[in-house]
Amino acid sequence: MTLPTHRTLDPRDAPVLRWGILGAGGIAATMVTALLDGTSQQVVAVGSRDLERAKGFADRFGIARAHGSYEDLVADPEVDAVYVATPHSEHHANALLVIAAGKHVLVEKAFTRNAAEAREVLAAADAARVTCVEAMWSRFLPSYDVVRRSVEEGLLGELRLIEADHGQRLYPDGPARLARPELAGGALLDLGVYPIHLAAMLMPRIEHVSAVGTLTPLGVDEQESISLRDESGTVAALTACMSASTPTIASIAGTEARLELSGHFYRPSEIRLLDPAGRLLESWQPLEDEARLGLRYEAVEVARLVADGRRESPSLPWAETLRVMELMDRIRGQLGVVLPGEG
């Protein structure tokens, strides 16, 4: 019994797009680093609501043009595709702005605040005939393809249980946006989206969702425990927490074997294949420096889709992005989290 090989293509061999970066925060810097150091893609412009911030970001990375508004960025004729790197609360409006300009768009996870907003963005992309992808980077990593193939090819036997946790001590002393309802803060959209995406990738027909959790004084979710069950009887036990650190590991157990994804399961990480007695059969290791460059895979996926004239990724199709948003809507409903403007 051996682990399958991944089918992920070399990021440096992808067709080249000229990228604009919408937003100049930390995740934008991580993406630009991955593009410049790990691909042949070009980063030609950055846009921020603060021109000086955009200029500072551009100087830091050697980007040719800095724009003082998102409107100017998407109107830049040298930009082919835009990476949206703003808070969750802004994804819907920012993605629609990019699409209206006729540009392809990669939207940072969580895709939007809720499923209704996701439907609007995907409908606009469809009408404009542009490529649109959710930037859930884990889905495009070689490690996730090893996991996907292991389940699809029956290596684990009948899939029974998925366990994944994601806890980081980010509240109350971390990024202020996580505490603010108007910025769609909380653990679920920022952290819980990772274990949910992992489970959804392996459970195509989820029929039961149950969640309990704790809310902050301002009404966003501090933590949650989520149970999922699909039509086959597979169960997922998922947790997310933004006020305490957890092991951030995942286990995918079948009747014949199980996979263990080491700390930070959502990043390029070691995969261990174990038999029912817990004996190690094989392990898989990511390439050196993959964690620093991991965001490159989702970006070059967009580049390949554009070159092929396709609008959605087979690794994360629009229906799957929407399904995950619908799951998170159900979870937030059970937790009692309502964001401003949702009613």
Q: Are 238 and 231 in contact (CB under 8 A)?
A: no
**What's the rounded Cα separation, in Å, for the pair 245 and 218?**
21
- What is the dihedral sign for C-alpha 98, 100, 50, 54? positive
Residues of the chain with pLDDT > 70, as a percent, come to 100
The share of the chain scoring above pLDDT 90, in percent, equals 97
Name the token pair of 66: 């800095």
pLDDT in tens, 309-342: 999 999 999 999 999 999 999 999 999 999 999 8
Decide if pLDDT at 185 tops 90.
yes
How confident is the model at residue 286, as a pLDDT?
A: 94
- Which pLDDT does position 172 carry in this prediction? 95
Q: Does 343 score more than 80 pLDDT?
A: no
Q: Please confirm whether the linkage preceding 110 is cis (ω < 30° from 0).
A: yes
State residue 64's pLDDT score.
98
Find out whether the peptide bond into 247 is cis, omega within 30 degrees of 0: no
Give the per-residue pLDDT at 207: 96
Q: Tell me the per-residue pLDDT of 92-132, one tens digit each, with 9 for 90 and over.
A: 999 999 999 999 999 999 999 999 999 999 999 999 999 99
Whether 144 shows a pLDDT value over 80: the answer reads: yes
Interval 8-42: pLDDT, tens: 999 999 999 999 999 999 999 999 999 999 999 99
The pairing of beta strand 81-84 with beta strand 65-67: unpaired
- Alpha helices, H only, the chain: 26-38, 51-61, 70-75, 88-100, 115-128, 142-152, 187, 193-202, 290-293, 296-308, 318-335
In this predicted structure, the answer to whether residue 263 has a pLDDT above a threshold of 90 is no
Measured CA to CA, the distance from residue 103 to residue 85 in angstroms comes to 15
Q: How far apart are CA 307 and CA 242, in angstroms?
A: 39
Decide if pLDDT at 188 tops 90: yes
pLDDT tens per residue across span 199-241: 999 999 999 999 999 999 999 999 999 999 999 999 999 999 9
Amino acid 288: pLDDT: 86
Whether 268 shows a pLDDT value over 80: the answer reads yes
Of 235, 269, 272, 264, the residue nearest 166 (C-alpha): 264
Residue type, 198: L
Q: What is the CA radius of gyration of the chain?
A: 20
Q: Which of 152, 154, 105 is nearest to 126 (CA)?
A: 105
* Torsions phi, psi for 335 (to 5 deg): -80, -20
Exposed/middle/buried for residue 270 (C-beta within 10 Å: 0-12, 13-18, 19+): middle
Looking at residue 15, what DSSP letter applies?
P
Q: Which domains does the chain have, with CATH numbers?
A: 11-137 (3.40.50.720), 139-300+316-335 (3.30.360.10)
Please give the sequence-ordered ranges of beta strands (E in DSSP) within 16-58, or none if there are none: 18-22, 42-47
Q: Are the beta carbons of 275 and 257 closer than 8 angstroms?
A: yes
Tell which residue, 235, 239, 227, has the closest CA to residue 192: 239
